[in-house]
Amino acid sequence: KTLLANANPPFLFEHLPLNLNDNIWNDIRNEYKLSLPQLSVLKNARCPPSQQVKEPTNTLNAITWNVAAINNNPFEYWITHDDAGYNKLMEDVSEFINNPGNKDIPIHEVFTDVMFNELCEDMTNAGWDGIDEVRSRWSGEYKNRKIITEFIKDGLIGKKRLASMPDRYTNTINLADGSTAMRPTVINCYEGDLSSTDKWWRVWREFMFQREVTVKGKAGNPETKFVRNMLTKIKQSKYPAISAEEEAISIPLQAMACAVFDVILVHMMNTLAPTSWQALKTDLCEKLNHKKHDRTLEILETTYGGVDVQFLQEVAGAFLDTVKARKIEQDFDIWAPADLDRDRDQNSLILTKKNLFKNVVEVTTEVASVGQSKGDLFVITADHTDGTQYLLASFHGDTNGLLTIPVLTAVHDYAKAAHPTRKFVFGMDANTYEKPDNGKVLDVTSFAKFYLIKD
C-alpha cells in the first residue's frame, strides 16, 4: 500500500479492482516490480476471500509447496546476516570443507577407538545384530578415512544414506505433548553444551541409547519408545548403492556413521569458533526455526489463503495438531493419508477450500506402488460444487528424483483406468536437476518431455 501511495503519480489502494482476474493486476505487478508473493498479499488485502469475484466455473486455483518440515538445521543455508562473526564462521566453514589441508585428519583422531568400543557396547546392550561386522568395517574401511575428503564429501556414503537416514529420524523428534527432543548435534537447535567432543559424546550416547520418547503413533495415540528403536533398515531395493551385506547390518552401521558425522561437525565448529558458534546457532534458531510451523501456517493462511487447493509435501505429523484452532482450519478442509508417518515427518497432504468440495475419498492404496515410502504419495477423489469431478494427488519425490516418473506414471495410469472423466491435478516436489548426470538423477528437461506427452 505504501509503495503504491508513494508512487509518481500515486495509485490509491482503493482503486484496485475487486476482481482477481482484472488485467490491471498484471500491470501493477510490472509497473511496481512486485514479486508474486507480494502481489498475492496485495490481492488478499484488497480482495478478502469473502468478497472476491468468483472465477468462471471449471477453473481451479492451486498451489504446491514442499514445506520441508524435517529441516531444522540453522546452518542449512548461508543467509544474509549483519553479524560479522556469523559471516566469518561461514567463510571459515566453507574453507574448511573446500580446502581442509592439514585439518583433514583421520576419523579415529576425532572419533577414537575408545569411543567406537563404547558405541559397540551400547549397540550390543540394545540387542542389535551385526556388531562384529561393523567392528570389521570400522577397522578396515572407516577409521583411517580423512574426515572431510573421504567421509563428509564421500558421495557414496550419501547415496547409501548411512548418515542422512538416522539424522532424518532422530534430528528433531516431535513429541506427543507438542514439545521436541533433539539429538545432540550441530545441525539442529539442540540447546545443550557442545563445547568439547567429550561433552558431546556423553550426551549423544545417552540420547541415542538411553532416552525414551513419547510420540504419537499411527492412530494418533501416544507411544513410548527408545530413540534407538526409531532407526530402521536401509533397503537396497530403494537405495541401490547399499550392498546386501550392508543392508543386513544397516542399523548399527547407521549409528556408527551418524556418530562420526556428528563428531566431525562438533570438532570443526570448536576448531573454527570455539567461543562463539553456539551463541550464533542459538540466535539463528530463534529467528529461523523455533517459529517455523507458525510462520508456515501464517503464509498458508494469508499469502495463499485465497486458493482452492493447497498441495503440501514433507509435512510433519504434528501439523495436524498445530492447525487446531488456527484460521487455516476454519478456511480449509485438511486431508491426510490414512498411513500418515509421524516418524519420518515427510507426509504429503491436500487442503481444500471449505464448502467447495464434497464426497472426498482417499484412493492412495488403489494406485500401484513403485517403491515410494509411506506418506510420500497421497491421492483423493473430490467433487467440486460447480459439478467438476477431480482426482487430486500430492507427492514428494526421492532425493534424486528417480521415483518421480514411475509414480506419476502409476497415478496417471490409475486415473485413465479408474477415473477417466475426472480432471487430474497433481501437486508435487519432483526433485529434478539441471543436468542428468548419467542417469543418476532426474533432469528437468527429461521430466518435461515425459509429462508433455501425457494426455
pLDDT (tens digit per residue) in 21-55: 777 888 888 888 888 778 878 888 887 765 655 55
Q: For the CA atoms of 119, 124, 128, 131, what is the dihedral angle to 10 degrees?
A: 70
pLDDT tens for 115-148 read 999 999 999 999 999 999 999 999 999 999 999 9
C-alpha closest to that of 391 among 377, 374, 405, 370: 377
The gap between the terminal CA atoms of the chain, to the nearest Å, is 43
37, 40, 59, 135, 305 from 54: Cα distances, Å: 21, 16, 10, 66, 15
Q: What is the pLDDT of residue 279?
A: 95
Distance between CA 384 and CA 197 in Å, rounded? 58
Q: Quote the CA–CA distance of 445 and 450 in Å, as a whole number.
A: 9
- What residues have CB less than 8 Å from 221, skipping those under 6 apart? none
Dig out the grid coordinates for 11 from the structure.
495509485
pLDDT value for 408: 94
| Residue 223 scores a pLDDT above 90 | yes
Q: Is residue 300 scored above 70 in pLDDT?
A: yes
**Number of neighbours of residue 237 by Cβ within 10 angstroms:** 8
Nearest 5°: phi and psi at 308?
-85, -35
pTM over 0.85: no
Query: Which of 37-46, 101-110, 434-443 has the highest average model confidence (pLDDT)?
Result: 101-110
**Measured distance CA(434)–CA(401) in Å, rounded:** 12
- Tally of CB atoms within 10 A around 347: 28
